């Protein structure tokens, strides 16, 4: 159900991103046992800074389903496919207290992840009773994020969907799970986004400073950045 987002430029058939920002070279196959189901808000699918495309390319057992509201029967089928116990990666919030986790030690797991802004993810949770009813997994002390360099967060403990998911997998699977290569690749993804943002920021500053004057002198001072 990985529906290609609508881009004006040609998209890569594998990562579904515009070919000029293809992520396939950054993918790092990461061995894991837990099945990952990402419910992605439609706005995130079109977000150039979104981390889920790299996560999906790197995890063998990762499915991404795009939507804001899901039909109850469809969602139930996704969440409760036979053979695994399901957990929702989400903090315990007053608006939707977490139910007690059942005793299922050692059972294969499915991890459900909401890919959205904090406000939109909470709305997705509250509008779907099947999600509210899931036992939760929360990150008590998320590791420092690299994501803040390219995308603002309202809370100090917020991290990218990729970072949150690999931290959760490390909690569930223990030392055999090694996400270091994937997190290193994510760091390069963040650096690439920063590199693309810098010329755009310089152009915006130049336009603001120049007013009705020619931009060429200001752009020349911005070298060696390439404006494309």
Q: What is the pLDDT of residues 59-116, one digit of tens each?
A: 999 999 999 999 999 999 999 999 999 999 999 888 888 888 777 667 899 999 999 9
- Check pLDDT > 80 for residue 210: no
Judge whether 13 lies within some domain. no
Asked if 44 contacts 115 with a C-beta cutoff of 8 angstroms, the reply is yes
- Check pLDDT > 80 for residue 195: yes
Point out which residues pair with 109 in neighbouring strands. 85
Domain count for the chain, please give it.
1
Judge whether 61 lies within some domain. yes
* Cα dihedral sign, 200-151-161-191: positive
- Check pLDDT > 80 for residue 12: yes
Q: Give the domain range for residue 183.
A: 31-96+106-138+146-191
Judge whether 184 lies within some domain. yes
Judge whether 101 lies within some domain. no
Judge whether 71 lies within some domain. yes
Judge whether 66 lies within some domain. yes
């Amino acid at each position: 159900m990985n529906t290609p987002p609508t881009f004006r430029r040609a998209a890569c058939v594998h990562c579904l991103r515009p070919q000029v920002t293809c992520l396939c070279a950054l993918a790092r196959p990461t061995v894991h046992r837990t099945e990952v189901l990402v419910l992605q808000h439609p706005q995130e699918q079109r977000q150039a800074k979104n981390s889920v495309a790299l996560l999906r390319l790197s995890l063998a057992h990762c499915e991404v389903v795009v939507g804001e509201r899901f039909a109850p029967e469809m969602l139930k089928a996704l969440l409760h496919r036979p053979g695994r116990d399901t957990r929702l990666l989400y903090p315990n919030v007053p608006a939707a207290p977490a139910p007690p986790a059942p005793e299922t030690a050692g059972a294969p797991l499915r991890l459900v992840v909401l890919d959205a802004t904090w406000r939109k993810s909470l709305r997705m949770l509250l509008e779907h009773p099947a999600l509210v009813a899931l036992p939760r997994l929360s990150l008590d002390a998320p590791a420092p994020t690299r994501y803040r360099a390219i995308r603002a967060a309202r809370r100090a403990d917020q991290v990218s969907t990729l970072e949150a998911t690999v931290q959760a997998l490390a909690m569930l699977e223990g030392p055999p799970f090694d996400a270091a290569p994937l997190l290193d690749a994510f760091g390069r993804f963040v650096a690439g986004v920063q590199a693309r943002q810098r010329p755009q920021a310089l152009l915006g500053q130049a336009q603001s400073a120049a007013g009705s004057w020619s931009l060429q002198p200001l752009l020349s001072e911005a070298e060696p950045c390439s404006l494309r």
